[in-house]
Amino acid sequence: AQCGVELFVLDDGWFGARTSDHAGLGDWTVNPDRLPNGIDGLAEKIEARGMKFGIWVELEMVNEDSDLYRAHPDWVLSVPGRRKSLGRSQCVLDFSRQDVVDNIYEQMAAILASGKGSYVKWDMNRSITECWSHALPAARQGEVFHRYILGLYDLYERLTTAFPHVLFESCASGGNRFDPGMLYYAPQAWTSDNSDAVERQKIQYGTSMCYPLSSMGSHVSVVPNHQVNRVTPLHTRANTAYFGTFGYELDLGKLSAEEITEVKDEIAFMKEYREIFQFGTFYRLQSPFEHNVMAWMCVSGDQKTAIVGWYRTLNRVNDRFARVRLAGLLPDTLYEDSRSGARCYGDELMHYGLITTDGTTGEPHPEDGLTTDFDSRLYVLNAVE
């Protein structure tokens, strides 16, 4: 809260007998050993510190080691007489069945009924295999996939109607279910489980071809990155995450005092300019699939403020001057770069371009930035009245 964080999300492990990923899914009741004061008690503590509270769930899945499975083994998708395939030690619930959807709704409604929660991360972490419903005859098994999605939409419809104050974010091992159908109910989606900043620049660049930044879940994660083991600067991770919903997935207690200060500044920056990121016009300027550098920008509705993100993958000695042609500016309006104080007219920035390198020859100058691999800069351009 002291850093300016607005929402605290409780991840996996708060429910049922969830002492490992082999148990507990399907039992959406609070584990009293983990949360002796319940969800409400924790939420009240979080809210008392000025933050909203959210939880992680995976409602479509069930572990065999769960009360739900022991009571209803026929509620999972599986072929009679054959061994079930497990993914992440879990089975897929048969959402083509109304009784299954009703049960999960009742469990979630009980959790959300207090009104303490403001956010739900709805995950889905395995593929659907053995798509056979025990509630349908063999001749109708071809309906199961379609009926499954109808059941999923039904659960979303009921939960979003009953709890309109709750923001739902969808996820399917990342962005595997990032589509308009899901966005109808969950207006933002986790873009990818790959949270490395360099990888995310390509992922978010590509996703922006179809979807707005306000729908793209993007967070600053820990380094070395858990998937590619890459170490990227904190500011580059933030500069990438700004162009999305923005958040943090790391242990603030393990950051240095300097990093905590940087996090505070990053959050303050996002709060100041979030309307531009969320509702401004987004332009892709340089593709990360074609160059060692990438650039994109957001422009406010009145075209008087623009935020340009510029990213370089690998540092190079004696690199040539680089410039990027901007877009969406007022041609006859003078803009000032808040970083350097330099002033240029909109037509110059759009046709000649913005100089994005410091022009040093051989010897790096740390005060100018861009001295390492995976570096980046943000340029805030404001119209001069």
Strands 293-299 and 305-312, bridge-based pairing: antiparallel
CA proximity to 155, closest of 94, 82, 202: 94
- Residue 187 · residue 173 · CB < 8 Å: no
Decide: 174 and 191 in contact? Cβ < 8 Å.
Answer: yes
Using DSSP's 3-state secondary structure scheme, residue 317 falls into: coil
Q: Of 143, 127, 138, 139, which Cα lies nearest the Cα of 81?
A: 138
| Stretch (H or E) spanning 151 | helix 144-162
Instruction: Tell me the C-alpha distance between 222 and 241, whole Å.
Output: 13
Please provide residue 195's backbone torsions phi and psi, each rounded to the nearest 5 degrees.
-105, 10
Q: Which two tokens stand for residue 204?
A: 């978010």
Q: SS3 for 124?
A: coil
312 DSSP 8-state letter: E
Active site residue 196: no
Give the C-alpha separation, 169 to 188, whole Å.
5
Which amino acid does the sequence have at 372?
Answer: T
In the residue annotation, 123 being an active-site residue is answered as yes
Catalytic residue selected from 12, 193, 265, 319 = 193
Residues 6, 52: contact at Cβ < 8 Å? Answer: yes
Q: What is the CA radius of gyration of the chain?
A: 24
Q: Which residues contact 35 (CB under 8 A, 6 or more apart)?
A: 14, 41, 42
DSSP state of 331: T
> Which of 27, 65, 94, 123 does the annotation list as catalytic?
123
Residue type, 124: M
Rounded Cα distance between 165 and 186, Å, is 12
Q: How many CB atoms lie within 10 A of CB 336?
A: 15
DSSP assignment, residue 73? Answer: G
State the Cα–Cα distance between residues 314 and 15, nearest whole angstrom.
44
Tell me 85's DSSP state.
P
Active site residues: 123, 193
